[in-house]
Amino acid sequence: MNVLGRHRCRFHPADVGLEIDEPVPASWVLDPLAVYAGGQPLVLVTIADVTVTACWDSGASLTVVDLGFARRHQAVVALGQRLAGHDSGGDDVEGWRATLAPCAIGGVGFGASAAIVIDLSEFNSELPGPLELIVGVPLIRQGDWLFDFPAGRWGVRAL
């Protein structure tokens, strides 16, 4: 978001599109935008009766769920096969394939989606506030997103 965070960006992944600095259509309902330390947008995600602030990350190939969150909310995170791999920094990571239950973001309903559950405690120790959920591509591809960084507002529409 170092580059995009200076622009109005509309992500419409259904046709693999990204619009930069286009006018906001009048039909969009926009909310105040909060951003994380690195400039990533923050969105509220409601899953069943749980609402969590999540980082929206178009570079996350899967939605990432913190292990502590998954343990506390077993009804909304179904763990699957254990796996080992590497994160974007090349560090070894162990976790579980998972399915995140249907959720709502910005008043829009999203279906169940693929996720990975990992322990984010070490990652969170370096951040100003803990992250329990990182919205990745499986959720992003279900919506039409607009982040107007200069105006500090955002919105999402169902596809």
Contacts 24+ apart (CB under 8 A), 82-86: 83/116
**Cβ(72)–Cβ(130) under 8 Å?**
no
Q: What is the pLDDT of residue 92?
A: 82
Residues of the chain above pLDDT 90, percent: 72
Fold topology of 37-154 = Cathepsin D, subunit A; domain 1 (2.40.70)
Question: With bands split at pLDDT 50, 70 and 90, how would you rate the model's confidence at 1?
Answer: low
Instruction: Kindly tell me if the per-residue pLDDT of 60 is higher than 80.
Output: yes
Task: Yes or no: say if 107 and 113 are a contact pair by the CB < 8 Å rule.
Answer: no
CB 139 within 8 A of CB 110: yes
* pLDDT digits 0-9 by tens, 81-130: 999 877 767 778 899 999 999 999 999 999 999 999 999 988 888 877 78
CB of 60 closer than 8 Å to CB of 40: no
Extents of the domains making up the chain = 37-154
Read off the pTM: 0.91
pLDDT at residue 136, rounded to an integer: 95
Mean pLDDT of all residues in 27-46: 92
**Mean pLDDT score of the chain:** 91
Q: Tell me the mean pLDDT in the region 11-15.
A: 83
Question: Residue range 65-82: average pLDDT?
Answer: 96
- Helix or strand holding residue 121 (H, E): helix 121-124
